[in-house]
Chains A and B, each alone.
Chain A
């Protein structure tokens, strides 16, 4: 099972890959929104799920850290791909993210697991696996 990890920080990328392999995923990593989009187009239906951070650059030429993870989540839901969010944003001050994610989840009927406060990739990958299995059962 190939999963796409979208994360810009090298240390977190390593943690995410380790956590992905621990639950049996084969990880492919993108550091920007543009790279995530390019890889998703290239691998198409081979990608079984996506685990994404929220704040990272749009591309290597536009390096400002914006909440590009919201775009990744929206594209995943549009493409019917299970997605899990893993970020270290303080849960008290992130309504601009949680409200949007909860609304996408509500409108689409998609379960979108969110890990806040610290990047707990092990939890994010386990949650993603559960969502993938649940969606498979519902097919």
Chain B
């Protein structure tokens, strides 16, 4: 599986990517910052995307606004085979959301669950 991790900074991206290199799963992790993420998503065509630092707030910072816009853009543009999930520091009630800090196994479980749900939606 090719996994794209999107964050607000290179340091945070690398730190998250490192967590996955320590798992036994066969995962190729690509990380990028919000600024380049849409372009990387379109060119690399990952199987799954994690948009981290996702917020919903009227007082959005530029980074968190970018993250919520990116999530929307990627979700709309994804193929039926691609899964786009999100994470952030606040508890939000979405099936495709994980509260930070996240564990690799929790993220993989979230991706698999969402892939299954999207396939079921497509079948109907």
Instruction: Give residues in A with beta carbon < 8 Å to B.
Output: 2, 13, 17, 21, 26-31, 35, 38-39, 42-43, 46
Contacts and interface: CB of A to CB of B under 8 A. Distances in A.
Given A13-B76, A28-B77, A31-B76, A38 B38 contact: no
Chain B interface, >50% SS class: helix
Nearest to B122: A14
B72 to A, nearest CB: 8
A101 B76 CA distance: 27
Interface of B: 38-39, 42-43, 45, 69, 72-73, 76-77, 79
Contact of B39 (A30, A35, A46): A46
B79 A21 contact: yes
Given A13-B76, A17-B77, A28 B69 contact: no
A26 B38 contact: no
A35 B76 CA distance: 11
A26 B69 contact: no
Nearest to A4: B77
Nearest to A44: B39
A2 B79 contact: no
B79 A42 contact: no
Contact of B38 (A13, A21, A31, A39): A39
A11 to B, nearest CB: 12
